[in-house]
Structure 1
Amino acid sequence: MSQLTPLFPRKPVPALSVPTLDGSTWSLADSKPENFTMVVVYRGLHCPICGNYLKDLDRKLADFRERGVEVIVLSSDDEARAKQAKEDWKIENLTMGYGLTLRKAREWGLYVSSGRGKTSVGIEEPNLFVEPGLFLIRPNGELYFATVQTMPFARPDFGAILKALDFVIAKDYPGRGEIIDIPAEAAE
């Protein structure tokens, strides 16, 4: 099994390219946002919490675009499951990617879970699937902000992210949590 790799602000993120439901391929290398690219990883069709989360983002997509943020949502689901999620959840505006490999998910510091049968909505979990994550990436490919989770609960609120973006953009606030050498006396 591949190792979980943490990502650090102010450092380049791994390459990322996925097919999308509109028939194209989305690539981070081709993303040219004014301020940030926001990559939102969801668990997949089997996750009703993901549906509500993405519906909220779908409603707020224009607000992110006004702030110069390009948005992609993706999962490890195959194309058929991603299409069903889009239809079932009534996602109208988001670019939806699919087929995120588990190895690529690990490169991005994401957790992987094993399926446990049918969920509360009666949909079978895949044998293995990626847990949620949210990444803000600067136009130069460096990580600005990341959150990864081991469960579907308590994800970052998109309204709060929009407010934070207003501050971050206005103040040119730097990414925090970068790799630094910790002095020996502070390490204890």
Structure 2
Amino acid sequence: MSEFARLKPGEPVPPLLVDTVGGPCWRLCDQKPKNFVLVLFYRGLHCPFCMHQLKELEAKYEDFRRRGVRVLAVSADTRERAERTAVEWGIEELTLCYGLTIDQAKAWGLYLSRGRGMSSRGLEEPEFFVEPAMFLVRPNGTLFGGEVQTMPFARPHLDDVLFGIDYILTNGVAPRGEHDGRPAVAPTAAAAE
């Protein structure tokens, strides 16, 4: 049995308390968005795929805000690496968080990787880091949906995510993936009366 969590739509997500670049600690339970919090977990400063994704997220930050979505990006990087990320990648609007622990990553069901020396960006990989994931969390702290990956590439396109949020909000879509695999129980005649 895996020691990692498997988050289920409609159920509460784990607590999340992380430090932010240039700001105070960030707590998920303190967030009161109109519609969702988008929690994006990224690998860190060493990852060129993360750089592309976070730059795109920064460029679309206002698009998410207009839809009532608070957005943040979280890594297991140190403060120094997260500060470099903000400067080198031009992150100004996006809340950039760092210091995610292994226990927090496991609670969110994230995949972990060990550092293997120099990355393709010519930077030393940290001792451990998380593989990418993205979660939409409702204002009440329950999971609407998410995607967890084992590899750095083939991430969701942010325009697709924005389209999905529009569709959810316009059509009142309920979360999917909540079925536990057990057969449905037919109501008895007594219960139907």
**TM-score, normalising length: structure 1:** 0.94
Q: Secondary structure at the residue paired with 1:40?
A: strand
**Structure 1 alignment gaps of length 5 or more:** none
2:45 is matched with which residue? 45
User: For each residue in 1:90-148, what CA deviation from the matched residue of structure 2 results, as whole angstroms up to 9, or x when unmatched?
Assistant: 11210001000011001000000011100111100011111111000001111001101
- Stretches of 4+ moved more than 4 A in 1? none
Q: Secondary structure at the residue paired with 1:80?
A: helix
Q: Secondary structure at the residue paired with 1:135?
A: strand
**Structure 2 alignment gaps of length 5 or more:** 185-193
Alignment of 1:31-42 (within 5 A): 31-42=31-42
1:109 is matched with which residue? 109
Cα shift at 1:89: 1.0
Number of aligned residues: 183
Alignment of 1:1-188 (within 5 A): 3-183=3-183
Letter in 2 for 1:154: A
Letter in 2 for 1:40: L
Identity across aligned pairs (percent)?
Answer: 50
**TM-score, normalising length: structure 2:** 0.92
In 1, Cα distance between equivalents of 2:183 and 2:93: 48
Cα shift at 1:47: 0.3
Q: Secondary structure at the residue paired with 1:126?
A: coil
User: For each residue in 1:50-106, what CA deviation from the matched residue of structure 2 results, as whole angstroms up to 9, or x when unmatched?
Assistant: 001000000001000010000111100010000111111111210001000011001
In 2, Cα distance between equivalents of 1:37 and 1:116: 32
CA radius of gyration, larger in: 2
